[in-house]
Amino acid sequence: MKNRSCCLLGTASGIPTKTRNNVSIVLDAGDDYYLLDAGEPCAASMLRNGLDYNKVKAIFISHLDADHFAGVPMLIKSMILWARRRTPLKLFVPRRAVSDVRRCLAMMYLVDEALGFRLGILPLSEEFEYRDDNLSMTFHGNRHIKNRFCRNPALRDKYPELQKESFSFCLNLKNRKIVYTGDLARPEEMEAFIGGTDVLLSELAHFTPEAFFQYLSAQNVKRIICLHFHPDWDDRETELLGLAEKYGVKNIAMGRDGLRINF
Ligand SMILES: [Zn+2]
């Protein structure tokens, strides 16, 4: 049987709760892991879930909000100190953030000469497709960041350089189509790439559950895992499942930290 699974390290939205850490998912392809976002404390969570830092082949960051990125420095530091990593690591970030991320890591003394392994900080964009022996992956821009800046002209005018991209990920892992939404502005932003999805890992913070389930009721998705929960829905799994049923959405589960899913 092909080895395909994921472990949800964190399932909170921007605000960690008593039972949920910020969002991070380990995709397990057997010999290699891939991190989809790196909310903190993903390094500690990997350790506690028995996941080897040295197996991480690449990290993909959907956007630079702290709840998706802040775990990166500690993960790299843990790779140095705990795992004594020697194998190269790829860190993919939205294209316009590459130099800022390099500076951010350097500020924490995580410069090339201090790592002990080769760290590639690489741009992801809609024009780029990631491909290796385990998976292929495309990146789809959404309006999560843009909307925030549009709503706040002071922010937009003073910090134009901060309007960095935000992406959803669409990947094929050993013949399974997996979609990770990252953070969206609205569910319809999935329209271009949702068709034929085997596993949808979706946020549930920037739209109401009703809007989400209504949208999903017309989609052909085999399995849905919710994560990145708005704090209002933090401990209301039963209620959410009942709501999904009302909209005729089947094969849906509410994620929680530490949950492993085979597919
Ligand atoms: Zn978020």
CA of 229 to the centre of ligand 1 (A): 9
Residue 168: which region, alpha, beta or left (left: phi > 0; alpha: psi -120 to 50)?
beta
Q: How far is CA 91 from CA 38, 143, 241, in A?
A: 11, 22, 35
Query: Helix, strand, or coil here: 236?
Result: coil
Task: Tell me whether residue 263 is in a domain.
Answer: no
Distance CA 16, CA 11 (A): 9
Distance CA 61, CA 145 (A): 14
CA of 156 to the centre of ligand 1 (A): 19
pLDDT tens over the chain, length 263 residues:
457 899 999 999 999 999 999 999 999 999 999 999 999 999 999 999 999 999 999 999 999 999 999 999 999 999 999 989 999 999 999 998 999 999 999 999 999 999 999 999 999 999 999 999 999 999 999 988 877 777 788 877 888 777 778 999 999 998 999 999 999 999 999 999 999 999 999 999 999 999 999 999 999 999 999 999 999 999 999 999 999 999 999 999 999 999 999 98
CA of 136 to the centre of ligand 1 (A): 24
CA of 245 to the centre of ligand 1 (A): 26
CA of 127 to the centre of ligand 1 (A): 23
CA of 207 to the centre of ligand 1 (A): 12
Query: Helix, strand, or coil here: 5?
Result: strand
Q: Nearest CA to 11 among 91, 67, 71, 70?
A: 67
CATH number, domain containing residue 85: 3.60.15.10
User: Range of 92's domain?
Assistant: 5-255
Tokens of 187: 């569910």
Task: Tell me whether residue 260 is in a domain.
Answer: no
Task: Tell me whether residue 190 is in a domain.
Answer: yes
What pLDDT does 150 receive?
A: 73
Q: How far is CA 117 from CA 29, 47, 81, 114, 242, in A?
A: 22, 20, 12, 9, 48
For CA atoms 221, 224, 227, 229, give the dihedral sign.
positive
Task: Tell me whether residue 131 is in a domain.
Answer: yes
What pLDDT does 153 receive?
A: 81
* Amino acid code (one letter) for 170: C
- Phi first, then psi: give them for residue 261, nearest 5 degrees: -125, 125
The total domain count for the chain is 1
Asked if 163 and 185 count as a contact pair (C-beta separation under 8 A), the reply is: no
Overall size of the chain counted in residues: 263
CA of 145 to the centre of ligand 1 (A): 10
Task: Tell me whether residue 262 is in a domain.
Answer: no
What pLDDT does 10 receive?
A: 98
Asked if 200 and 181 count as a contact pair (C-beta separation under 8 A), the reply is: yes
Distance CA 28, CA 212 (A): 27
Asked if 144 and 183 count as a contact pair (C-beta separation under 8 A), the reply is: yes
Task: Tell me whether residue 261 is in a domain.
Answer: no
Q: Crossing angle, helix 209-217 and helix 237-246, to 10 degrees?
A: 40
CA of 113 to the centre of ligand 1 (A): 32
What pLDDT does 242 receive?
A: 96
CA of 61 to the centre of ligand 1 (A): 11
CA of 65 to the centre of ligand 1 (A): 7
What pLDDT does 158 receive?
A: 82
Task: Tell me whether residue 241 is in a domain.
Answer: yes
What pLDDT does 1 receive?
A: 44
Task: Tell me whether residue 16 is in a domain.
Answer: yes
What pLDDT does 2 receive?
A: 59
CA of 228 to the centre of ligand 1 (A): 7
